[in-house]
Amino acid sequence: MLVKVYGSAVYGVEALTITIEVDIVNGSTGGYFIVGLPDNAVKESVDRILSAIKNNGYERPRYKTVVNMAPADIKKAGSAYDLPIAIGILAATGTHNPCV
């Protein structure tokens, strides 16, 4: 399922809208891929996000997860994208209730 979530990035003195698309590929082996010119902090966000999802009683996706951050020509830096990516993952997996 493809889910779009919106965030923003500071580029100079302007704020730009960043579209974060999360797709869970059923039937594919697990793995997490972030594309769209992310820096190391954004690439490492997968560990923070999956830990937060687990610690809040939700199940992490068991299938291939692709996160596309557009536009691709703008460098995405920092941990400000953790929350929109986490919301996108939860929405894409159809997780609405904690697994308690």
Task: Calculate mean pLDDT across residues 56-76.
Answer: 91
Q: Which fold has domain 2-93?
A: Ribosomal Protein S5; domain 2 (3.30.230)
DSSP code per residue over 31-98: EEEEESSB-HHHHTHHHHHHHHHHHTTPPPP-SEEEEEEESTTS-B-SSTTHHHHHHHHHHHHT--S-
Give the residue extent of every domain in the chain.
Answer: 2-93
- pLDDT at position 100 over 80: no
Nearest to 60 by CA among 51, 68, 69: 51
pLDDT tens per residue across span 9-52? 888 898 999 999 999 988 777 789 999 999 998 989 999 999 99
64-70 vs 31-35, strand pairing mode: parallel
Percent share of the chain, pLDDT over 90: 55
- What pLDDT is attached to residue 64? 92
